[in-house]
């Protein structure tokens, strides 16, 4: 297609907040919108127009460890996009959870890049399979919200490649997104949108990305330097971007070849959109609603179940406490939040649908603001005098606690990983009133539970589970659904145990001095006790592992297999996790790293063989001396685990020769 130079320059920015230029009718004007939890239109009226669903936030999808869940959510989100004539879905967010306090953690998958890649890749596959483009974000090292526009992330090359760009590398090999959005923050002193090393050298040359790179909104400081860094579309509220690039061309700062290359990439994206619009078809709304509920069912994690207090038997009296009983915290704030027109069904209604009239009373004790359809309620509540009597008279007390979208949101981070002090007091107060207290946590990331975890009987981590949260919770509380979620991030015992401070001491520089020791890599290697480890989750079923085998196929290739049997009388799901440990370390490495996993659903008494292919990528690290992925010869250990801390089988293997992959020569 022949375009004038003026048309090419126009393509390199947006026409308005969410629409690309159409090159005078030669190309479609692409519409792009957030977001990670579902379609988020610009105005509250658009967001709540009844044509969108709120799906489990990415951290809940990750807690499912279920690739089918992520794919289905991707297709459902694409369907909402199609119904709203949206061409580019600005998700998924794959930033690594460096600290639990990051305000946007609910938008991200995990502290582990491999788990992130497996689930986010499936979501991208689901979205793009229906003809809607995905935009993977935010590349890269946007791990805090405070000072994100100015605070530089100082990261060494090995950490950058092993932790913060690894998920992108893995996704590009399998399900490359049509677009990638770069981050707001500077990296090693250079603004990400103008960082040629990050965008051109790593993302394009080393990772092989040939799609469209877009900026976050108003993230570009210098449009000319951004183009030289191979950023294609400047997303901005400013109106002078085209003129600035025109002057950059006239002054020799940018070249015609750079303009042509960016325009060519955008034209290919426009051609994809044009063809997709002719044939794309959305899933029906009932199917989408069921996908939202199913994702919540499979992503909710049972953390504690003392004396098998759950599930609640039929015929028991239940009392409900907490603001979130009526106004569940189903999504986060900022550009990543999605609110729905009808709101979300209350937990009382959902429980009574399963056990009619089982809920005798409910109380909003905590005084938090509630949320319904994106409107913040100013209703404040206080303790009800007869709450103590109700708790005494109930067989079960369920307290739903968490953080609202004005606590966990874009643009700021939490200053503590504890719940609000009044919430913790409420937990302790109710724990004295009843001997069957179930606490449900609705937050966007891990929290410190140390003040009260020993005082309660059961704990469920629901997270921001979307519009289906209370349907799924009611099913799990009553045993209609067997919980099968596993944690995609570690729950630390204390803030002092974190690998890095919640808030950087220097407002201008955030030093990633912990290196590759992020999340469980930090706790496990340094033998720091945790409240709940990465990969952890309970079930109403019991699973027995047997017949472990590890067969060597080549220098770095192994076939690993085992049998998993559900030895209970309850159908359920389990997650088999494979980690690799380097015994003869030539460089400092984590004690173990997740390399493979599989979620398996088994009926009562059913057995199934699980097989893993272990290859070079399971043993390698990034060698900065060679600027390449490297496997050192020596001894390694392949571990089959139930979670990061619980090893069922281990097999020592010997790598006889060093290997190098993707060596880069400068």
CA distance 335 to 409: 8
- Write out the H or E segment, with its range, that includes residue 153: strand 152-154
User: Are 509 and 154 contacting, i.e. CB atoms less than 8 angstroms apart?
Assistant: yes
Which residues, other chains included, contact 374 with Cβ-Cβ below 8 Å and sequence gap of 6+? 44, 47, 48, 337, 339
Q: Is the peptide bond before 140 cis (omega within 30 degrees of 0)?
A: yes
| Best CA proximity match to 93, nearest among 131, 134, 48 | 134
Q: How is residue 92 written in tokens?
A: 């998924």
Q: How is residue 500 written in tokens?
A: 């890095």
Distances in Å between the alpha carbon of 198 and those of 41, 189, 510?
Answer: 30, 12, 17
CA distance 585 to 422: 47
Residue 323 designated active-site? no
The DSSP output letter for 529 is -
How many H helices and E strands in the chain? 17, 29
User: Are 370 and 336 contacting, i.e. CB atoms less than 8 angstroms apart?
Assistant: no
Distances in Å between the alpha carbon of 543 and those of 236, 647, 655?
Answer: 52, 14, 32
Distances in Å between the alpha carbon of 135 and those of 94, 179, 626?
Answer: 11, 5, 32
Which residues, other chains included, contact 250 with Cβ-Cβ below 8 Å and sequence gap of 6+? none
CA distance 4 to 13: 15
CA distance 151 to 191: 10
Q: How is residue 217 written in tokens?
A: 């909104």
CA distance 466 to 84: 20
Through-space distance between the first and last CA atoms of the chain, rounded to whole angstroms: 35
- Write out the H or E segment, with its range, that includes residue 339: none
SS3 186: strand
CA distance 549 to 651: 9
User: Are 531 and 492 contacting, i.e. CB atoms less than 8 angstroms apart?
Assistant: yes
Given the residues 34, 112, 147, 216, the one annotated as active site: 216
Residue position matching structure tokens 């996704």: 171
Q: What angle do CA 390, 439, 110 make, to 5 degrees?
A: 160
Catalytic residues: 216
């Amino acid at each position: 297609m022949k375009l004038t130079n003026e048309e090419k320059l126009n393509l390199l920015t947006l026409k308005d907040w969410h629409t690309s230029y159409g090159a005078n009718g030669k190309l479609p004007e692409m519409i792009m919108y957030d977001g990670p939890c579902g379609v988020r239109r610009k105005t509250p009226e658009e967001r709540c127009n009844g044509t969108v669903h709120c799906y489990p936030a990415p951290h809940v999808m990750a807690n499912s460890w279920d690739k089918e869940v992520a794919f289905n959510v991707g297709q459902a989100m694409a369907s909402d996009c199609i119904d709203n004539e949206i061409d580019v879905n600005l998700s998924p967010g794959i930033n690594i959870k460096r600290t639990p306090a990051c305000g946007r953690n609910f938008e991200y998958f995990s502290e582990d890049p491999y788990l992130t890649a497996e689930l986010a890749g499936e979501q991208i596959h689901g979205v793009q399979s229906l003809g809607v483009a995905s935009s993977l974000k935010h590349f890269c090292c946007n791990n805090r919200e405070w000072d994100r526009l100015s605070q530089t992330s100082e990261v060494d090359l090995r950490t950058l490649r092993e932790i913060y760009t690894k998920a992108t590398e893995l996704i590009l090999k399998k399900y490359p997104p049509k677009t990638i959005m770069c981050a707001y923050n500077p990296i090693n002193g250079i603004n990400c949108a103008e960082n040629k090393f990050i965008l051109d050298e790593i993302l394009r040359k080393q990772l092989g990305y040939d799609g469209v790179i877009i900026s976050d909104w108003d993230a570009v400081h210098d449009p000319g330097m951004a183009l030289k860094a191979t950023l294609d579309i400047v997303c901005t509220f400013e109106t002078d971007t085209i003129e600035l690039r025109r002057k950059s061309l006239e002054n020799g700062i940018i070249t015609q070849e750079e303009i042509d290359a960016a325009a060519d990439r955008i034209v290919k994206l426009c051609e994809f959109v044009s063809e997709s619009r002719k044939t794309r078809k959305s899933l029906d709304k009932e199917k989408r609603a069921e996908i939202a509920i199913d994702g919540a069912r499979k992503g909710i994690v049972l953390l504690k179940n003392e004396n098998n207090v759950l599930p609640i038997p039929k015929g028991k009296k239940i009392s409900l406490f907490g603001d979130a009983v009526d106004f569940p915290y189903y999504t986060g704030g900022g550009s990543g939040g999605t609110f729905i027109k009808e709101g979300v069904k209350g937990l009382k209604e959902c429980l009574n649908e399963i056990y009619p009239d089982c809920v005798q009373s409910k109380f909003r004790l905590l005084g938090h603001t509630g949320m319904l359809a994106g409107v913040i309620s100013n209703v404040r509540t206080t303790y009800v005098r007869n709450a103590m009597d109700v708790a005494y008279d109930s067989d079960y007390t369920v307290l739903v606690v968490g953080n609202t979208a004005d606590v966990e949101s874009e643009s700021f981070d939490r200053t503590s990983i504890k719940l609000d002090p009044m919430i913790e007091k409420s937990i302790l107060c109710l724990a004295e009133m009843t001997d069957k207290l179930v606490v449900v946590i609705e937050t966007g990331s891990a929290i410190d539970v140390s003040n009260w975890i020993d005082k309660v009987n059961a704990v469920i981590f629901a997270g921001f589970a979307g519009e289906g949260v209370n349907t799924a919770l009611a099913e799990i509380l009553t045993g209609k659904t067997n919980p099968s979620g596993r944690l995609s991030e570690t729950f630390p015992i204390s803030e002092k145990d974190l690998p890095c401070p919640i808030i950087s001491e220097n407002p201008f520089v955030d030093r990633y001095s912990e290196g590759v020791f992020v999340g469980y890599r930090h706790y496990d290697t340094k033998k720091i006790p945790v409240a709940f480890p990465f990969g952890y989750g309970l079930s109403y079923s019991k699973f027995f592992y047997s017949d472990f085998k590890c067969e060597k196929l080549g220098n770095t290739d192994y076939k690993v297999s085992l049998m998993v049997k559900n030895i209970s009388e309850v159908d359920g799901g389990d997650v088999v996790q494979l980690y690799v440990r380097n015994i003869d370390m030539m460089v400092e490495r984590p004690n173990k790293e997740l390399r493979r996993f599989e979620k398996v659903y088994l009926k009562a008494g059913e057995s199934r063989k699980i097989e893993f292919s272990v290859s070079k990528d399971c043993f390698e690290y990034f060698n900065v001396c060679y600027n390449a992925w490297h496997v050192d010869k020596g001894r390694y250990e392949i571990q089959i685990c139930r979670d990061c801390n619980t090893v069922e089988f281990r097999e020592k293997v010997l790598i006889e020769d060093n290997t190098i992959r993707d060596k880069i020569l400068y």
